[in-house]
Structure formats: C-alpha cells, structure tokens
Structure 1
Amino acid sequence: MDCLSRAIQKSASKEICLLLLDTGVEIEDERQEQYLSDAVKQGNTELAQVFLDYGVNINAQEYSGEPPLYLAAKESTLSMVKFLVERGGDVNVRTNVKGLTPLYGAALQSRPDIVEYLLGKGADVTITSRLRNWSPLEGAYDYPAVMAHLVTKAWPPPDYHRVAEFGDTQCTALFLSATFGKTECVRLLLKHGNPDIEFTPSSDIEKEKADTRGYTALAVACLYSHTEIVRLLLENGANVKHRVPVSSWTPLHIVRNSDTLAVLLEYGADIEAKDVDGWTSLFHAVVSGNVSIVRRLVNAGANLETTDIGGYTVLIEGVFHAVEQYREEMCRYLVSRGALVNDTSTDRLGSSVHKCCRLGGIDEVELIFKLGGDAGLWHGMQGTLLEAACKSINKNNFAVVKYLVEQKGIDINGPGSYFRCAMGEAFRSGDESLIRYLLGKGGIFNTTDGNGQPAWFNICYRKDDALEIFDKLLADYGAVDPLASLGDKDRMSRTILHCAAQSGHLGLVERLVDLDPNLIDCRDLDGWSAIHWAAQMACIEGLEEEDYPQKWQEKTEVIKFLARKGCPGLAERVPDGKGGTWNVLEIAGYQGAPDAVVASIRDLMEENQVQVESPKAGSKNAGRWSCDGCHTRIRSAFLRCDDDSCYKNFGVCFKCASYKNKVHDSKHVFVVHEEVSDSHSCVEQMGN
C-alpha cells in the first residue's frame, strides 16, 4: 500500500493529501479509481474533490468492480451521494459483475433517505441485476420505509409482476414479503401496485426448510401465521380455495394459528375441502396436535365422520397418528363432540374399534377402549374385534389378540364375518404362535367360517408353510382329534383335499391322501373331484402376480399325483356353472394356465386315453376379485352382493353362483358384475 492510500484510509485531511501530491507523490494510473473509492467510503467529500480535480473518472470502477456512487449509496453518507450526483455521477451506473445500481445498493441496505434522493434524480427502479434478475423492489421486500419510496416515487414505476430468482426457484416482491411477515411491505405493494397475488414458486423458498412449492402468497402467509398479511391478501382478492399442486392442500390445510384460521373462514374457506389423501383441515390439525385449531374447526361445523381415501375418520387418524403428547386429549375431545366409536355402519372396515384392532398396536387398542369402545361389536365385513385383530395386516400383533381374549373376554369361537372367523383368519395368515395361543384358549379348529367353510381349511390358502402348519396342528397344537375331521365338508361339499389341490400344495395333498385315501373319491355338489379343483387357481395369501407361473407348475404336479392315485375326473366333464360342461384341460385353459402347463395336462390326459381338444383360452390376467365362496381367482363376470352391509365387496364366481345362498346371507340380493371382457361370459346364466 502506498503512502497516499494509507493517508486516505487514516482519514487524512485534504491538506495532507495535497501536500503529498505537491511533494512528488504521483497518482498511479492503476489506482486512480481506488483513491476516489476510498475517499467515498470515508465520506470525505473534500478529498473526493481532490481526486476528481486530478482527473479521476467519477463513474470508473475500483478493483472490485463497484463505482463510487454505488459505494456511496450502499455504505457512505447522503451528503456524499449528493456530492457525486451533483458532479456528474450516473445515478444508474452498474457494478461490473452483478450489474447492481446505486438504487439497488441503497434499497438492499435499507437506506430510505438515499433511495428517495436517487429516485428524485431519475434512478430507474426497473433495472435488474445480471445474476439473479433482482430489482430494487425485491431488494426492499423487508424494508417498508424503502418500499414506500419505491412504490410512490419511482418513474417509471416498478414492474410488480416481475419474477426474480431465489436460489433454485423464483420469487416476487409480494411473495417474499408475505413469506417473511413484512406486513407493511405487503400493504404498500397491494395499495400502490398490481402484484401477481396468485404467483407460486416452482420449488422451496428455504425458510425453516418448509416445502413451499406451489404455495401462493396467501398459503405461505398461512404457513407462518402472518394473520394480518392473510387478511390483507384476502381483502385484495386472493383465492382462499387455491390448491397446491401434488398435495392438493388449500390454505386451510396449511394454517397453524387459530386467529389465521378465523380469517380464512371469514372469507369463505371450504372447511370440508379434501387433499390428495382425503384429509380435511381437521385431520391435519388433529394429527399435528393443534388443539386450538381443532376446537375452532369443530365449533365451525367440521364433519367428524368424513373419511380419507383409506376409509378412516379423523378419530382413527388421531388415535394412530396424533402427536403423542396430545393424543388422548385430542381424541377425548372429538368423542365428546360426537365422533363415533362403536358405529359399525360407516364403511367396510367396520367401527373405529375394529380399525384399531386390525391396524393398531396395543397402545391404540387400549386407547379406543378408554374412549368407550364396545368389546361385543360385530361387523359383516370384519366380524368380531378378535377376527379383525387376526387378519393378515396385523397378524404379528400378538399383544392385541391376548388383550382382547384375556382382558376383554371376546369369544374365540364367536360369529365370523361374511368371509371367515377368527380361527379361519389365524389359519390363513397367522403365525404359529397365534394359532397355538387361540387353540390353547379354547379355539375350535373346525369351527365354521362365515362362508360355511371349516376354519382349518384356510391352511390351504397359505403361501409357503401349509404342510408345516397342518402337521403341527396334528401333532402339537392340542386340537381335538383333527384326524377324525378329515372328512369335514364346506357348504358346497368340498373337502380339505379339494382346497389343497386348488392351492397347489403338493406336499399337503400327499399328506392328506396318505392320512385318508377315501378323500380321493370325494366330490362336491357339482360332481367336481380334487383333480378338477386342481385346475382352478386359488387366491393365495401373500402370493404376488409374478409368483403364479411357478404355482401353475406346482399344480401340474398335483394333477399328475392325483391321477396316479386314481382320483376320478380326468376323463370326466363336469358342470361349468353356466349350463355347459368342461374337463380339466378346459378349466385350466380358462383359468389362464401357461401354455406349457396346458400342454402337460393334455399329455397326461392323452396318456390316460382321454380324448382332448384344444381348450378355449381364458384371460391370462385375473382381475382384482377372488370368489368369496371358493377363493378362486375371478376372470370374467361374477355375482356381487348388492346389500349395503357388504359395501359391494362380496362376490361369487360362476361355479359358486348357484350356491350363493349357502355361502352368504340368503336375504342379500346379488347383481351381475363385469370384471373383465371375456367371450366365455356367464352373465346371462349367472343372472338367473
């Protein structure tokens, strides 16, 4: 640093600097602008005049690329700004790299007196920065005194619709002011300009890491509880029903403050608006533990029984997901205001108590009983609370099962749902400990499911361990003489061998035939033998679509085994449920068996001198339904129960259509339902 620079930075007087110059110190060409800038930063107008007199360019930029007037506006005095302007300084001069003007520098540093002066001298508020496209208007988003001058004294006026960059997203002056709670700035922008009140950024404005993509100024003001700003925006026409893309939230879903909520309701916010998950604002408030908002929403008439896309009410979501500190208080309040605990008519998932037993852990179940849950509830789709707890979605929650049996006294052998009973659910998807426990507490292994099937037949519809569970039932579980029950039949006269063959469990089929060879000759009411049922494809618990080709290979081995054991039916045609008949090969073809499997069955039939023709192929893809009478995957039209208590969720295939009153409530009316388009339709016959 040369001696002249030291003198300037030490606030030397004009006289000292002149003395240095008079004694031969030269102004270095490459440092001329720096000398002037240093004088400007010191606010020393006399010294600045010295360098101007020596020919330094008043608009030249020092090494950092910032001209003197920009430096003065940003960090020096008003008198220095006036000094430079009066001597020809360009009020719209720009910094070298970012392109910032003196007006921008003054606005960003909240210097209203300098902003006012520069505007009076023609400073242009519309000039933007090169890097982020900001103008002084965005720079002043949190400085109301500066904003007041920009919106009232600038000419040309600001562009209130302009969009600037903010990190990796965009912003407007109004959106920034609303985000950071600058009420007066919002007021000024709305009063004097025409800002885009519905502007939304494409990604986050990182304040507290909140995701504000798709938020309007109103939504973001609700998020941060800027109540006065919310009112200002609504007074000026902000859309109170704006939907945030993806989540479909409205401002009412976002609000966190009861006073802000009151303003939204005053301006017509839809209290029942649902987001993409089917949640109203009440759901959000309950889960977040915001007691004051919950109370205000309920007092405003929020529906306590509306359900989300999963079919769950706000009480259920509160039991499962509310902040633990407020969970019980919140749920008790909802119940006190009319939320239903024991109503079984709401949907196919049953009462709130059923849902807790099926989906929850012991904490949720204990809470719902504290709230008045009735242990004696029964529901057509869910059965008893114990059956709900034994369903596969909750099969490993042993604590709930024990609580219901030992603390609430629920009968293990109580009435089943339209589908199964508690023992049936345990056999179908429960683990070994659950089955052992229920049998040890008096569960009857062959009690009847709701569709008339002995509970233990459900072992056949397990994915992997059917034989293991069956053997343990015989040897270890303490069931009363299951061997004597091998001849049990369901209401369509199917035996456990029919079900095992249908599911393709070769090991279980072999074990059953070994234990009771007479099962081989058993037929159902339509004369179907086990070999016919082996050509049907069962809906198996936990089996994914990609697993079925392998399952067909296993079923082929079952058919071959049954044929070797003399099972009747390979050469027989049996009723197809539609007025016609078909054989094993045709059943498998219709059921979508892979070509290789169909070929194997054809070869087997030809080996046994059975005349065969190519079967009419069915759909290779099953629909979403399975028959609730026989558990076969449905591939065409079927009969669906139309009774309200079944919620359009009970159906039977063409094979079981004639026996619908045996496997279901005879008072219920069935209608034809088209699952998939198929030329092998049974609509007319099934409708009779």
Structure 2
Amino acid sequence: MRTDRCYVSIIPLIASVGIQDLPALRINGEQSRYALIEAARNGHGEIVQRLLDTIEIDNEIAETTLLAACSHGDEQLLISLINRLGSLNAFTLPPFLLNRASWLGQQQLAKLLIDRDVARTANEHTFLRQTPLHHAARHGHTEIAELVLARDPSLVSTLAKGEWSPLKFAAMYGHPALVRLLLAHGADKDPRTANVGTPLANACVGGLHAAARVLLDAGVDPNLAEPTTGQTPLVVAAGYKRERCVRLLLDHGADVQVDSPHGTALYRAVINKHADVCRLLLNRGASANCSGDQGPALGVTVRNKDMEVVKLLVEHGADVNGLIDDGAHTILYRAILTKGSLEIIRYLLDNGAEINSIRSGKRLLWRAIFGDDAEIVPLLIKKGADVNFTISDGWTPLHASYENAVMTKILLEAGASVDRLRNGNGESALFLASWYNQPDVVQILLGHNAQVDLRCRTPDDAEFTALYCATVNGHAKVARILLEAGADVNYHDKSASVLHAAAMHGEEILRTLLEFRPDIAVRTPSGKTALHYYSLPLACAKILVHSGLHIELTESAGYTPLCFAVRCDNLEVARFLLAKGASVAVSTKDHGSPLHLACSYGSLQGVKMLVAAGADIHRSHPDAGTPVYAACTRPVPSQESWEQYDSCTRDVLEYLLHGCEEKPDVNQPGGKLGFALSAACAFCSVATIDALLDAGARVDVHDAFGRHPVHLAAHANVENFERMCRADTDLSCLDKSRRNVLHAAVQSGNVALVERVLEVTDGLLNAADCHGWTPLHYAARGCHPILFQDQATWSKEIIKVLLDQGADLWVTSHGFEQEWLPLELARYHGAPQEVLDLLTPAEKTGKSPKQWSNEKQQWMKVFKITAYCDCCLFKCEDFDLCYKCNRLAAILHPGHQFEESGPEFEVEKSSSSDHDTSDGESDGEDESDEDEDEEDQKHENS
C-alpha cells in the first residue's frame, strides 16, 4: 500500500516492499523508525519484528505504527504489535483500534482490546462519532457486538452523528441476528428522530424483509410514520417496489389507506410503475381513486403509459372521468397529450370515458390534431367526438389542422364545416392554410367546396381573401391553386389589392398573378398603383411597366412612382423609371419634386442621378423650398446618429453648391422658414452653416414671419448661435411679432444658450413682443425645441437664470380678453408646482398696477395639443398659428381665414365643478394626438 508521505531516504521504501536482507534495516535511526511504519502499513510482519528488535521507539511512533497496521488489516500483526507495544512506558492503546476491529470483524483482536480496556465510547474525533457497536451492527459482526455489549451495555442507546442508533444500522443493512441481539439488550424499537427514519422504514427501503420481520415480531408499530417525510413503512416499501416487505407489513396490520405528504402506498407504487405491488395493495383494499401531488393515480399511470396498471386501477373502480391539472382537463385528455397511448385511449373510451367532456373545454379532438396522430383522431371521431366544436377563441378542429393535410381530410370526411370562421378574427381554414403556405391543405379544402373568395376579417378590421393572404406572403404555389379554382384576381380591400401585394413580394408571385389578367392599373383608396411602393423590387417594377402600367400616375399626395423610389433611396427602380421616361419635373403637394425628396432624405446618389436627368436645381416649392433648402430640412431617422445625419446633409449640400454645372442661388426664397440659411440654423451643424455662408448666403434675410436666421440659430443650440454672431448679424433684430433672439433662446429649453444670449446682448431681458410677452412669459409657457416632437417641458434653470438677471415677475402680457402674469400663464399651460413656486412673487404687490388675487390664481389646465405653430414654433393643433400668434394672422399670413378648434381646457376627470388648483393641479395630459406620422410634423409640412 503506497503511502502519501515523502521520505529523503530509500530505507522506508525498501521496507514497504518487503525486502528483508539489507543491513540498513539494523541501524537504529530515524529512517529505520519510518521503515517500521511502512512495513506495518504493508503487512510485512517479519520486517516489523526485526525492526522492533533493533530500534528504540517512542509513544508517537508506536501509535503511528499501529495506525499504519490498521490500514492493512492484518489481525495477527496488530495483535503482535499490541502485545509488544503495550509494555511501553505510559503508552495507552488508541480507541481507533477497537473501531477498526469492529469494522473488519476481527473478533480475536476485538477481545484482546476489550480485555485491555480500550476506550469503547466515541468523541468528536471519532469517525461520524460512531462507537464499535455501530460498526459491528453495520457490518453484521454479531460476535463482536456481543463482546462490546457484554463490557458496556449502555452503548445500545448511543447515537452517532445524524442520530443513527446501532439498531438502525443493523436494520438498514439487513442483519436480523444483530437486530434481535440489540432488541434483547433494550434498544428502542420505535425511535422517532428528526434526521433519519425508523429502523423498520430503513429495513423496508432496502427490501430487507428478514430484519423487518424481526422488528415486527418484536412489536414495532407498522403504521408509525417517519418524522422527516411523514411516510409509513408501507408507503416506503411500496415506493421502492419491495413486494415482500409490503406483504409482510400488510400481514402485520399495516393500514393500506394511510396517506402521507407524498400519497398513499398505492400512489407511490403507481408513480414508480410497480404493477405487482399495485395489484397486492388493491387486493388488500387500497382505493383506486387515490391522489397525490401529481394528480389522480389513474392520470399518473396514463402519463407513464403503463397499460397494466391502468387496467388494474380501472378494474378496481378508478374514475375514468377524473380530473387533472387542478380540474382543467380529464384523464382522457392526458392520454391524448401523451404520444404512443392509442391502446390506453381505446381502453378508457371502452370503459366509459366521456369524449366531449365540457370540463376539458371539448378540446380532446383539437389536442389530438395538434399531436399529429392519424390513429387517435379517427378513433375519437368514431367514438362520437364533435368535429365542429369551438374553443374560447373560435378555433374548430379544422382550423387546428391548417398545417396537416391528413387531419384536414379526416375531419372533412367526418363532416367538419369547411367555411366556419373563427369567432375572434374571422379566419377560415382556407385563409389559414393560404397564409401559412400549405398547398396540400388548400387543395383538400377546395376539393370539399371551400368558398375560394370568402372574406375573412382580421383584428385590424381589414377583410382578406385566401388569395390575398397567399399573395401578401409570396406563396406563389398556393396563389396558383386558388386562381385556378376561380379566386378573384382583382380583389382589393380598404388598403390594397392582390396586385399591390404581389408587387411587393417578388417576381414569381407577380408573374403568377399576371397570368390571370388582373386590372394592371388598379389603385388603392389613396390612389396608389402597384408601382407606388417604397421598397418595390426592381424585377417587379419592370414586369409592371412592361405589362402596361403607366409610370406617371400620381396618388393623392401627388407622388409618382419615381417620387416613391427616390424618397426611400430605391435607386435601381428610380434609374429604371428614368430610363422609361419618368418626369423629373413633377411636384408633390407638400414635398416638392423628386429632387427635393432626394435632397430632403439625404440620397446623394439619387440627387446626382436626378440632376443628370435634368432636374432643376433652382426650382422652389412653397413648402419644400429649393433643393438646397430641402437638404437642410431633412428628417432625422430614428436609427441614424446625429453624426451620420450631418455628414449626409453636408455631402448633398456640397454636391449642390459645387458639383453641379449650374450654381444654385443660396439666397433664393422658399420653404416655411424662408431661406436655406434659416433652415440650416434651425436643423443643421455649424459646418453646414459655414458652407452656405461661404457660398454667399445673406444673414439679413427674413421669412414670412419676419424671422432672421439668427432667430432660428438662437432656437437651436449654442454653436449655431455663436456662428451667426461671428457673421456680424444684427442681434437686436425683431420678427413681425417683435420677438428678439432671447425670446427664441428661451423656447429652446437650453439654459447654456440662454446664458450665452444674455452675455452678448443688452436690454433684451424684459423686452416685450407685440403682445407684451417678455422672455419670462415664454419660459412660463414651456419649451419646445423644434428638432424634437416632445410635449412641452419647463426649464427651472432657465427661469432661475432670467429671475437672477432681474426678469420682472409683475409684467403683464395681453391674452384672450385678459392680461397675464408669468405665473398665470404657467398655470394655464399646466406647469409643475416647482415652476409655479418660482414664478410666485414673494410680495403680493409689485411695480405693476395689477394687484394679486387668490381667486385669479386658480386656473383649469389648458387642453394639450401636439403640432407646431409656424410662427413662434410652439406646439398647437394642426393650425399654422397658435392661440397667441393667431391674433396677428392678418399680418403674418394675409388672405387666409382661420378657424378655432379644440377645447380650451382639459376635461376634468372628477364630477366636481370646483377647479381649485392652488394645491397643484393634476399632471395628467391628453396625449392622444402625439403619434402623428413623421411626414405630418410641422417642421416638414407647410
């Protein structure tokens, strides 16, 4: 036996392998002592005796030698060592010797040690605190147990670690003689400890019926449950398939019906598929309708696909219509859910299982169909399953078969209604099979006279036919089957036609459709033809044009197919349309020509292509402006970073300014903001502004509202404002409403921008516009940066900056039939309480003749709206002018009549007529109009 110890000398190694004829073994030294230990470890008795005769050893070496000899297990060598070493002065034989002898069954050694009065008790250093009696009981050494008990009878009650008694060891390892001996010496036959089972249960776990019989004959209670699991010995024996123990326990009066947290004995036998044990328990009176944590016993054995036990339970009265899954389903449902259970299903049905059970939602047939079992479904139908039942969302078995031709055929031949619509969203089986590309199912349904043009209503209230479903998903084979069956090739719903759907989904489906001669010029309600799609494939565009579809047809917004292609950068289609003669001179209602669109959406290659095709770079549109203007006002896609956006804008602008043979006039008016420089100040970077200034853009121009480029820069960011300051612009300029750059900066919500404007200007802090509004009034109304479509926000920091600089809290403005303090304006627009606190004067009188009135400070919150005022850039409803600027309509936008729209105040949710908001009104706001389409936002439209 190899040692795990390392030696510097070879002598211990020589001794360990039994080489005797070496002079080194006769030397009295440290290495010889180690040689003694290794010789004892490997059972070399002659070398041990020779070394004992040669060397001197102390108590430590003696104990180590005995321990090494124990590991080998040579009884005679140990006896010899004990006799030799026991005479050492003050040496006590260690307790592990007796434990080892008891473990190995070395009776002679054990008797010697007991006679020498070696300690028999255990302590914290003993293995699992087990005594020699524990070891003898575990390994069946009856004679040694008798020797130990004869010397110390109290050991029969000593508990080892884990509260194991010697009797539990004897029972668990099946030693009936030892069980009898321990009982005779007074061992507790029914101990109930917290950590381990009773001796009888321990015997039953291993099926040790002989030991169990001794315990039962001694009067052990067969119905005593284990404290840890709550299981009786019968439940334990049944769960471990210990049939002889089960029979023994029953013969000694074990209660067959006793339950436990894990079920009865029969339930445990069912779970573990022990048919013989189940039969024995049932014959002794166990209830076949027992249940446990996994449901009824019959449901468990059905899941186990244990036909023998199923029959046993049913024959003994098990309820074949019992419920599982907290009452949601029947046992028959469980059988259908379990693949490979055809015979069990047949047996349950033959023995009274209800096939259309209402409790299981009449879903048995539906479940079998999804299980794709072509044997079970006919069986269920033959036994009376309803082929037209519906579940909660309107699905019938035929709907459930939309991907399975075999099931579809079986159901239709059994009388399933071929055109039944789902309750929830109205799909038919043909609709589903067409949508999910199941040509075989479609053929079968049509062969059973399914209505080919039956309209099915979807959740969004659209009506589709099966052909539309196949087409919109690009299923050419299904579409051909439907068309050959007479499907309406010209069907269209509220949004598109079959032809439109085909054009978007590839060449194959489109060619298939065109074989059946649809109306090539069919339009949607908004006037779109099949060519009017952003991502139209080139192959489909060619097929449509070559089939005779006119390329200059416009939809309701004035877009031609070329406009659509350019807007989404579909340059392949755009190039093809241009080659076919598409006009570059057309104009949409709101976004200008194709060139405007290309510039606005940042398509540099599109711009180059259109210019090469003769597009006019000087053309101005009332809303879209010039192409240069359009390049500066393009929307920011959500997936595009600001750096990408700005780089793309500058590339397009660079080409327009320097890449064209003709040079555009950067001071040509057009667009909502009037001039390209104004648009760049509002939406672009300093680099774009530089490019326009370098190209000769003037800083003193103004739009229809009198706004100069610096007004827009002051509304944008610090960088753009700084750039306009360096361009020698007039910082004191006013628009037609007499607003200055500080008014504009306040509305940006950018406190750094406000601070910078205050630094470089003088006299603007309390300057009023034509209605008496100071910058503080604008801050009180809320901020709306023009680049983003958010709700109004209030900047406490801007208000604090204005107040710190001396803004007047008492200055009044003119509003609807009244005058406004900043506080009143903030409350009117629903500002948060912390803003109202800032605007509330500490003293209730001021320079203004207007006196404070608590009654006047109680306001209802104004109704919220979500579009821009074209004049002051504040959000308002879909008008050009907000309630404030509308008073100047005749000046700002002459020749047009305006209408009031929308309630002034939000509707209170409570029934109270008291609108006191002195404690801070509700922050709830109507945001129902916030989800407007991007192209309807006011900074892109007129």
1:673: which partner in 2? 900
For residue 826 of structure 2, the aligned residue among 588, 592, 595 is: 588
Q: Is the 8 A contact 1:258 1:292 kept in 2?
A: no
1:407: which partner in 2? 659
For residue 744 of structure 2, the aligned residue among 487, 490, 499 is: 499
Using the alignment, how far apart are the partners of 1:571 and 1:157 within structure 2?
84
Using the alignment, how far apart are the partners of 1:415 and 1:136 within structure 2?
62
SS of 2:899's equivalent in the other structure is: strand
Kindly state the Cα deviation for residue 458 of structure 1 after the two structures are TM-superposed: 0.9
- The count of residues paired between Structure 1 and Structure 2 equals 500
For residue 763 of structure 2, the aligned residue among 518, 525, 530 is: 518
Kindly state the Cα deviation for residue 401 of structure 1 after the two structures are TM-superposed: 1.0
1:50-96, Cα deviation, whole Å (9 max, x unpaired): xxxxxxxxxxxxxx9999xxxxxxxxxxxxxxxxxxxxxxxxxxxxx
1:197: which partner in 2? 452
Kindly state the Cα deviation for residue 560 of structure 1 after the two structures are TM-superposed: 0.7
Kindly state the Cα deviation for residue 454 of structure 1 after the two structures are TM-superposed: 0.9
Using the alignment, how far apart are the partners of 2:844 and 2:867 within structure 1?
34
Residue 589 and residue 353 in structure 1: after superposition, are their counterparts in 2 closer, same or farther (change >3 A)?
Answer: same
For residue 884 of structure 2, the aligned residue among 655, 671, 685 is: 655
Q: Is the 8 A contact 2:681 2:689 kept in 1?
A: yes
Amino acid at match of 1:651: D
For residue 366 of structure 1, the aligned residue among 608, 612, 615 is: 608
Residue 620 and residue 380 in structure 1: after superposition, are their counterparts in 2 closer, same or farther (change >3 A)?
Answer: same
1:122-177, Cα deviation, whole Å (9 max, x unpaired): xxxx999x999879993499xxxxx9xx9xxx9989986699xxxxx996699579
> Unaligned 5+ residue runs, structure 1?
1-63, 68-96, 105-125, 142-146, 164-168, 204-212, 636-648, 681-688
Q: Is the 8 A contact 2:739 2:768 kept in 1?
A: yes
Q: Percent identity?
A: 20
Alignment of 1:239-278 (within 5 A): 240-241=490-491, 243=493, 250=498, 252-254=500-502, 256=507, 257=509, 259-266=511-518, 271-273=522-524
Residue 263 and residue 440 in structure 1: after superposition, are their counterparts in 2 closer, same or farther (change >3 A)?
Answer: same
1:225-247, Cα deviation, whole Å (9 max, x unpaired): 4575354222xx55742659xx8
Residue 171 and residue 201 in structure 1: after superposition, are their counterparts in 2 closer, same or farther (change >3 A)?
Answer: farther
- Please state if 1:560 is matched with 2:803: yes
Q: Is the 8 A contact 1:412 1:438 kept in 2?
A: yes
SS of 2:898's equivalent in the other structure is: strand
Residue 515 and residue 259 in structure 1: after superposition, are their counterparts in 2 closer, same or farther (change >3 A)?
Answer: closer
1:233: which partner in 2? 485
Q: Is the 8 A contact 1:341 1:368 kept in 2?
A: yes
Kindly state the Cα deviation for residue 384 of structure 1 after the two structures are TM-superposed: 1.4
1:19: which partner in 2? none
Residue 596 and residue 494 in structure 1: after superposition, are their counterparts in 2 closer, same or farther (change >3 A)?
Answer: same
> Unaligned 5+ residue runs, structure 2?
1-339, 344-370, 379-385, 389-396, 422-426, 637-644, 908-942
Kindly state the Cα deviation for residue 272 of structure 1 after the two structures are TM-superposed: 0.7
Using the alignment, how far apart are the partners of 1:215 and 1:597 within structure 2?
57
Residue 572 and residue 215 in structure 1: after superposition, are their counterparts in 2 closer, same or farther (change >3 A)?
Answer: same
For residue 612 of structure 1, the aligned residue among 832, 847, 852 is: 852
Using the alignment, how far apart are the partners of 1:313 and 1:173 within structure 2?
33
Q: Is the 8 A contact 1:305 1:340 kept in 2?
A: no
Alignment of 1:216-231 (within 5 A): 216-217=466-467, 219-220=469-470, 223-226=474-477, 229-231=481-483
Using the alignment, how far apart are the partners of 1:523 and 1:103 within structure 2?
84
Amino acid at match of 1:254: A
Q: Is the 8 A contact 1:389 1:400 kept in 2?
A: yes
Amino acid at match of 2:522: I
Amino acid at match of 1:370: A
- Please state if 1:451 is matched with 2:705: yes
Residue 420 and residue 618 in structure 1: after superposition, are their counterparts in 2 closer, same or farther (change >3 A)?
Answer: farther
Q: Is the 8 A contact 2:732 2:740 kept in 1?
A: yes
Residue 418 and residue 220 in structure 1: after superposition, are their counterparts in 2 closer, same or farther (change >3 A)?
Answer: closer
Using the alignment, how far apart are the partners of 1:586 and 1:403 within structure 2?
51
Amino acid at match of 1:272: R
Using the alignment, how far apart are the partners of 2:875 and 2:342 within structure 1?
77
For residue 306 of structure 1, the aligned residue among 555, 564, 567 is: 555
Q: Is the 8 A contact 2:490 2:497 kept in 1?
A: no
RMSD after superposition: 5.0
Kindly state the Cα deviation for residue 633 of structure 1 after the two structures are TM-superposed: 3.2
1:533-588, Cα deviation, whole Å (9 max, x unpaired): 44333431245646714x2x1342144134x2xx5x54333322x34322222222
- Please state if 1:469 is matched with 2:720: yes
Q: Name the structure, 1 or 2, with higher relative contact order (CA <8 Å, separation 6+).
A: 1
Using the alignment, how far apart are the partners of 1:375 and 1:136 within structure 2?
56
2:814: which partner in 1? 575
Using the alignment, how far apart are the partners of 1:570 and 1:319 within structure 2?
53
Kindly state the Cα deviation for residue 352 of structure 1 after the two structures are TM-superposed: 2.2
SS of 2:857's equivalent in the other structure is: coil
Residue 342 and residue 536 in structure 1: after superposition, are their counterparts in 2 closer, same or farther (change >3 A)?
Answer: farther
1:418: which partner in 2? 672
Kindly state the Cα deviation for residue 457 of structure 1 after the two structures are TM-superposed: 0.9
Amino acid at match of 1:583: L
2:354: which partner in 1? none
Alignment of 1:28-427 (within 5 A): 100=374, 138-139=405-406, 175=433, 179=437, 186=443, 193-198=448-453, 216-217=466-467, 219-220=469-470, 223-226=474-477, 229-234=481-486, 238=488, 240-241=490-491, 243=493, 250=498, 252-254=500-502, 256=507, 257=509, 259-266=511-518, 271-273=522-524, 280-284=529-533, 287-289=536-538, 290-295=540-545, 299-300=548-549, 304-306=553-555, 313-321=560-568, 326-332=572-578, 336=581, 339-344=582-587, 346-391=588-633, 393=635, 396=646, 397-408=649-660, 409-427=663-681
Residue 616 and residue 542 in structure 1: after superposition, are their counterparts in 2 closer, same or farther (change >3 A)?
Answer: farther
Q: Is the 8 A contact 2:483 2:489 kept in 1?
A: no
Using the alignment, how far apart are the partners of 1:588 and 1:201 within structure 2?
52
Kindly state the Cα deviation for residue 453 of structure 1 after the two structures are TM-superposed: 0.7
TM-score normalised by length of structure 1: 0.60
Residue 617 and residue 359 in structure 1: after superposition, are their counterparts in 2 closer, same or farther (change >3 A)?
Answer: farther
Using the alignment, how far apart are the partners of 1:177 and 1:534 within structure 2?
55
